[in-house]
Amino acid sequence: MRIKNFDEDKHILYLVATPIGNLSEMTPRAIEVLNSVVAIGCEDTRVSKQLLNNFNISKKLISCHEHNEEQASIELLKYLEDGNVAYISDAGYPGISDPGHRLLLKVLDNGYKVSVVSGANAMINALIGSGLDTTHFYFHGFLASKHSTRIHELEELKNKKETLIFYESPHRIEDTLIDLKTILGNRKAVIARELTKRFEEFIREDLNTLCEIDVSTLKGEMVLVIEGNKNNEKVSETEVLSYAKNLISNGINTKTAAKLTAEHFKVSKNAVYDVLIKK
């Protein structure tokens, strides 16, 4: 379905990003949009009231959080009948480890439009400042709090080549670092703390070293950025072979198949070629 957001035929829900720390991250567009709507849905009315007061924005606030999103979405739909509506979470983008997604689905389902107002986001700042590979990355958000589930999640991620990004809280950071080290093995790893705030800090180390840090110094909000799996030996010969053979069966010559397979699995071309001619 093709929808032109700014043809003024239907009302729109704006998902508006708000600062992750530094108030100056509130964009002029966010202020303009929030001032223009008939009501604002928000994760926590106390947090949002404080934010909006800073910018002299006075609007009807509707509480819409993780535990009432379904019901609150219905209430916000009523406001959409009268005009445009905005939704803000406590910090950063709605829908990124925050409520907003279910509201979006409901709004679209009811024939209204959705637009996103750009702004701050913790994982992007952390990734870009980490110094780790930004070409391909995987954002996981929070790991499960139950230990066995967390271990299972990490097992699933351990062969990923992409840079891994996690949100974490100070009270769980110690356990999480130990689990990361145990399951992923030692790798380059970065803690990005208190981003955009007075005490912003990047700790660019490896997992072994991060596990040695006195956790009482790891306060505030933080993002973990972990190097992807660089251990090419983890790719099984069978996997490589089947990929290459598939290319060959599609008419690609052995040399080119070896080259393409090597690029795909990020392994050496000669190693693939050797396997291919051996079989």
100 binds ligand SAM (CB under 6 A): no
Cα 57 from Cα 139, distance rounded (Å):
33
Contact 254, 277 (CB under 8 A): yes
Least Å distance between CB 269 and ligand SAM? Answer: 40
Stretch that binds ligand SAM, among 7-15, 47-55, 144-152, 187-195 (CB under 6 A): 187-195
25 binds ligand SAM (CB under 6 A): no
Least Å distance between CB 119 and ligand SAM? Answer: 9
Within residues 120-179, the interface with ligand SAM by CB under 6 A covers 121-123, 167-169
16 binds ligand SAM (CB under 6 A): no
* Residue 94 vs 228, nearer CB to ligand SAM: 94
Count other C-beta atoms under 10 Å from residue 98's C-beta. Answer: 19
Q: Which of 143, 144, 178, 147 is nearest to 164 (CA)?
A: 143
Contact 46, 115 (CB under 8 A): no
Which backbone phi and psi does 6 adopt, to 5 degrees? -105, 15
Least Å distance between CB 52 and ligand SAM? Answer: 17
Residue whose beta carbon is closest to ligand SAM = 92
21 binds ligand SAM (CB under 6 A): yes
* Residue 164 vs 240, nearer CB to ligand SAM: 164
Least Å distance between CB 9 and ligand SAM? Answer: 30
* Residue 19 vs 273, nearer CB to ligand SAM: 19
Least Å distance between CB 108 and ligand SAM? Answer: 20
Q: Among residues 91, 165, 173, 240, which is the contact residue for ligand SAM, using CB under 6 A?
A: 91
**How far are the Cα atoms of 103, 119, 171, 199 from residue 25, in angstroms, in the given order?**
24, 7, 27, 16
**How far are the Cα atoms of 159, 218, 249, 265 from residue 175, in angstroms, in the given order?**
21, 13, 48, 32
Least Å distance between CB 103 and ligand SAM? Answer: 14
Let me know the angle formed at the C-alpha of 190 by 186 and 191, rounded to the nearest 5 degrees: 125
Contact 86, 56 (CB under 8 A): no
Within residues 212-241, the interface with ligand SAM by CB under 6 A covers 221-223
Least Å distance between CB 157 and ligand SAM? Answer: 17
Contacts of 142 (CB under 8 A, 6+ apart): 97, 166, 167, 168, 169
Strand locations in 64-162, DSSP E? 85-88, 113-117, 137-142
Q: How many residues bind ligand SAM (CB under 6 A)?
A: 24
| Contacts with ligand SAM, residue ranges (CB under 6 A) | 20-21, 89, 91-93, 96-98, 121-123, 167-169, 192-197, 221-223
